[in-house]
Structure 1
Amino acid sequence: MKNYEKIRRVFTEQEIKALESNPSVLRVSEKNITYSPAFKIAAVQANQAGHTPTEIFVQAGFNVELIGQETPKRCLDRWRKTYASSGDAGLLEERRGKGSSGRPASREPSAEEKLRLAEARIKLLEAENELLKKLEALERHKDNNELLASSERFQLINQVVRKHGLRRVIRYLCKLAEVSTSGYYRWCAAEEHRQLREAADERDFLLLKAHFDALRGKAGALVIKMRLERLHGIVMNHKKIRRLMRKFKLVAVIRQANPYRKMAKATQEHHTCPNLLKRRFDHGEPERVLLTDITYMHYGNGQRAYLSCVKDGATKEILAHYLSSSLKLSLVQRTLKRLLNRLDGEVHPEAIFHSDQGFHYTHPEVRSMIAKAGFNQSMSRKGNCWDNASMETFFGHMKDELEFKDCSCLQELRVRVNEYITYYNTERFQWTLKKMTPDEYRSHLIAA
């Protein structure tokens, strides 16, 4: 027991705050308490009057279990000696670590002290390196360059401090992690609240999982919310249910809407084609690779239009396009007719017409038109947008650069789309086309 009492205990952040609130304390570190001079003088005088050290400290509002059973006696022994030799003045000034003259003792540190100092520096460097690596690793896993939350940074700092047993480095580590020191201490003080919330989340999760399992994993947040209210009389916010489902990885297996269900049925007459292109969009010859796709455009008061385009894989020129308010088969048929008029019968003998596996391009009528025109039809693999990435890139640039959402009618939208495609083909320079426009690059390829 005596050996245990000699070990200096380390105060937690909550204990430090509790000690600092005592008016008899000037400051507190992780292992030391600095008492006020007024308390020291009053304690010595009370001890001389017959009060025990423990009584004096208890009356001053100290928790003896917290500061240690031997602390009152040890402090009074030291203060009595100082008071006997120097009176009130000795206790009004902190004299520990000083010689009789009051000046700091100047001596060469021993080999043991130098070793301890070197070990402390190594420990600090290891902690600094570990913290920076963990911060970088967590930031890499964030989506869309999202910054780490302050709570995540506080947690990393706390882990590093505990692992390496560091002292008096919180401010430095907070500066490295780009968070405030006061925020870190507030985070530490809220540990009990976080534990209570975690326990509450686990209880609520078990309740949610019972309903989730009862519906064989086919229940979303709103379904679970309704069941809680009807079967248990528990009102829980749907946002909280979604948070808990994300936290505990409850993913509902639900039916997804099929946007083409009302437009076409998958019958035996719809056949797909092999991927002849294999992502080689540029064959170095104009009009040899023709890419096509359909995109939607929201405009006006919740209205939607559909744009079908054909793009030259080599020159990136838009050869034909058609805008419609309907997704009917005629959308693609009219685009094909405009393409054939543009080519004027001069179809490359090895021309490839590439699209996705949408119902327009697998329909027998469209496939017949493509074959009669002399194109070799090619299709992307199912659910693989990268197989037609060049076409998707054009739609992305167009929606970024074209102001179309304020159009009041389809005719106005048509005018803007026509103007943009003319600009794209004739005025928009592209780095991958040797800094030329699509029209200029087409002329360059033909001349070459």
Structure 2
Amino acid sequence: MDEGRSRGKYTLEFKQEAVRQVKAGRAASVVAKTLGMPKASLTNWVRAAAKGQLGLTADGKAAPMVTPEQAEIARLRAEVARLRMERDIGKKSRGVLCAGRVARYAWIRSMKRRWPITLMCEVLQVSPSGYFSWAASQGQAGNGRRRSHSDEALLAHMRAIHEQMRGEYGWPRMHKELLARGVRVGKERVRLLMQQHGIRAKGKRKFVVTTDSSHQLPVAPDLVQRRFTPAAPNRVWTGDITYLPTDEGWLYLAAVLDLHSRQVVGWSLQPHMHSTLVKDALLMACFRRKPTAGLIFHSDRGAQYCSRDFQDTLQAWGIRSSMSRKGNCWDNAPTESLWGRLKTACVHGRRFATQDQARQVVMNWIAFYNHSRLHSALGYLSPMQFEQRWLAAQQKSAA
């Protein structure tokens, strides 16, 4: 593959995320290795971002809109690079994995210039906070007491996290994020500092029912019965529709959520609410995940989900249809919760001039939600982290 084509696969979102990680304090060499890209390219992006030219073409014009397909290619590229690194770490550390925790910490320290510390901690099944605590104790002298962080240092960390996580974290997630980054601090201290300095999560708004179930189409029984914790991926998916106002008219978003990891596995953004909206979101999920027959797809009783076109698509993939009771949002609570987070982060208090602008913001947030946002129902892991750990545990038990 020639260099020009290789460069074309790096979308604007991919470049912005790589630059953000460098600006957040990670070494450019580590970021480049994690994302599976040349360090020289990353250095050029950082320079362009500093000049305000990262989103411009060579002639100084705005870069073209990134399509969902291009964004997905960029996400898969980063995911493949990460999986390769996990494989390499696993090969090098086979003996260490059977050793004690201290031996794992020592191995991580010896390899920290080769691979990201957080990734090695994940593969070796130790917490980053535990490693950094051990490393700090190894570097102590004299009385052996650990120095605590000053309020000013903690506030700098918290404000950076608040900005990077788009103002979505209250004190419980903030505390977990600090520990994951190696900052040892008590949860009560985090709560008080956030309260004293006005660092707070964006508030949610009241739920509004938008489902149109006034139709004569067949309705499926509720196969989920509010059991929202399936034992494995691709056992139960949920779907729903929400809307985003723009100056060009309404933009409708259909999403498919895998309940095992709460990961958004499919989505579609269109200026209408026809059955193709939900069908396209389902097909994206099916093509990406390739589920086996027997998967349950749970939704409300909206006409789009009851339509013959959508039901035929479910049947073609061997998927069983399940639907909530009429007017009961709690029967599809995980997806409604997703909408609450999305609208709090992207819609409330914001005006979109165009549908393309809204589409770009939503796609960026979905990537952030899947890869970075800590989820309380997943033990304060992101959906991607949770699923990767589950897969690693399955591979280990099968070995």
TM class by shorter chain equals: 0.3 to 0.5
Larger Rg: 1
**Higher RCO (CA < 8 A, seq sep 6+):** 2
Scaled by the length of structure 1, the TM-score of the pair is 0.39
